[in-house]
Amino acid sequence: MKTDFRQLHYNIAVPDSPQLAKVLAHLRLYDHPLLTFSAREKNGLIEILIDLKHSTVAVHQYVLPIHARDLEHPQFAWHLQRQIYDGLHDYFIEMFIGTPQDSVVPRSTAADRSVQHDSAQPHSAQHGEES
């Protein structure tokens, strides 16, 4: 008997509702080397939980809410895939621990502008070649 290892990476809960069972069934179709996907029912919503598999640093769990209208969408599978991909983008952006916007970028001084101006001279003029 061959074991499907993809299923071992998912936190398979006993579905409390047909909606949760539907989402869990679709999540089992996603196989990713870095991420695990699970789902739970909370406050009338289905939440998809995305975690890193083997993180060596503390990284938060991403929670993607799935509303009833999403579950009833006529193209549920495609709609869910788009939501997961959008959520993955947000998740990875949220993992940044520093960006240029987090610190004040120093303004250039007159001396800095002079150095930048000198380095912008044409290549032949910098080497004393005549044009």
Per-residue confidence band for 5, with pLDDT thresholds at 50, 70 and 90 = very low
Cβ pair 24, 15 in contact under 8 A:
yes
Cα(87)–Cα(35) distance, integer angstroms:
12
Across 39-43, 101-105, 116-120, least confident range: 116-120
Whole-model pTM? 0.65
Model pLDDT, residue 110: 56
Residue ranges covered by each domain of the chain: 5-99
Model pLDDT, residue 129: 47
Token pair belonging to 43: 């406050």
Token pair belonging to 104: 């004040």
Per-residue confidence band for 18, with pLDDT thresholds at 50, 70 and 90 = very high
Q: How many C-beta atoms lie closer than 10 Å to residue 13's C-beta?
A: 13
What average pLDDT does this structure show over 37-63?
A: 93
Q: Which amino acid is at 30?
A: Y
Residues in Cβ contact with 71 at an 8 Å cutoff, skipping those fewer than 6 apart? 19, 22, 23, 46
